[in-house]
Each structure stands twice: as structure tokens, then as C-alpha cells.
A and B are shown apart, each in its own frame.
Chain A
């Protein structure tokens, strides 16, 4: 059971806008930044969003992050087939001596 809760799956059709939620509590999301990773099968994760809303260089602006209270969301607009992957949220958790925790992951299917 992950400290951060994500839906196990999400889906959308090409061109659609999809959002993936990440729910926590005050000790993690409520008091810390949220990060999002994309992972394709058999490969290492890739940083998509840092500090709630920031995109690293090279990440398309189709990907956006937001945070409100103890929840966060990743939105993907103009969905493409190549977006089909697993997505993980992450945050530091003050109840774990400030160490990071990941969500359980959401498998995104592009129909």
C-alpha cells in the first residue's frame, strides 16, 4: 500500500486530455512539492514534472502538473499513442524523516 494514492489505470483516445490524480496527506503532498515520472516497460523512469508544475527541458508542454492541498494531478493534453506508459507521482514525506515516497503508479492506455 503506497503512501500516495493513484488510480491503477487511466485511458483516453488520441487527442483527448487525460488527468491522473495523486492523493496524499499533509505530511507529504500537503507540505512538500510533487514530482511526476513516466516509465515505459523495461526502461528507467523519466522525470516529467518537478516542484508541482515545472517541466524539465525537453518535456513537451502537453504535460502539466498541478497541486491543491493534499492532492496533485498530472494532465496530458493532445494525447498520443506514445504516451502509453506508467506514471508515478512522488513527494517527500515529513513523517518518514523527510524521505521520498512514490505513488503506486497509473497505467495509461491510449485507446
Chain B
């Protein structure tokens, strides 16, 4: 069974750093791209970027380039999303999602999703 299990809720202060995780099981970790999607409270979905765990090829959406770091660790079958200086505007739910292997990585085709990680940034 394919599963993407994300790390738990986080409460942080502005300026702090954070790394959230998405642990993958049920298929070969290196075979699918993994994307990250942001959803601010009461708002829609925003595509952040995507990584290919096989070689850690990362593509960031222009809006998120330089704002976050996406990485992967084959030894832990996990993909990560990291911030070096959180802002209140980063408050959101963050989803990791598996890209399908029957479509090109640029297309937003995600068949399995994590449960979401809620991040609250407040002073």
C-alpha cells in the first residue's frame, strides 16, 4: 500500500527555521517525483515544487524559488521541505504528493498525497 506520512503540526516564531518531512512507503522511493503543495487557511492550492528522489533533481515554482528548500534522503525514504527564516505568511497546511509515472513531471498529476502538515507561524 502506497503511503505518504508527514510529520506533525508545528508552531514556530517568525525567523525560526524548520524542516518538515514526508516519509514514503509501499513503492520504490526513487521511482516517482514528489511534489509539495501549500494551502493557506481558507485558501486554494499552490504548487511549490517537485523533486526526483533518484538524483535529487529539484524544480521550484518561481514563487517559491529561494523561499524554501526541497530535499530527499534515500536512506530514510523521506522527502523534506525546509525554511531558514519563517514568516507569518508561511502559516499553512503543506502537502507532499506522489507524481504519477505516466505523465511528465511538469504536469500537476499527483495520485497519492500525505495527510498534510499544519504550520503555524506566530510571535
Residue positions of A touching B, CB distance < 8 A: 2, 32-33, 35, 37, 39, 44-47, 50-51, 56, 88, 90-92, 96-105
Contacts and interface: CB of A to CB of B under 8 A. Distances in A.
Q: What size tier do the contact residues of chain B reach?
A: 20 to 34
A35 B45 contact: no
- Report, nearest first, the 6 A-B pairs whose CB atoms are least far apart: A100-B108, A44-B113, A90-B108, A100-B47, A98-B106, A105-B44
B108 A96 contact: no
Contacts of A33: 103, 107
B45 A91 contact: no
Contacts of A104: 44
A100 B113 contact: no
Nearest to A99: B61
Contacts, number: 74
Nearest to A33: B107
Contacts of A102: 44-47, 108
Contact of B107 (A2, A35, A96, A97): A35
Contacts of A92: 106-108
Contacts of A103: 44
Interface of B: 35, 37, 44-47, 49, 59-62, 95, 97, 100, 103, 106-111, 113-116
A96 B111 contact: no
Contacts of B46: 102
Given A47-B111, A88-B44, A90-B47, A99 B103 contact: no
B103 A51 contact: yes
Contacts of B95: 44-45
Nearest to A47: B111
A19 B110 CA distance: 23
A105 to B, nearest CB: 4
A45 B109 contact: no
A91 B106 CA distance: 9
B47 A99 contact: yes
Contacts of B115: 44
B114 A100 contact: no
Contacts of A90: 45, 47, 108
B45 A45 contact: yes
Contacts of A44: 95, 97, 113-116
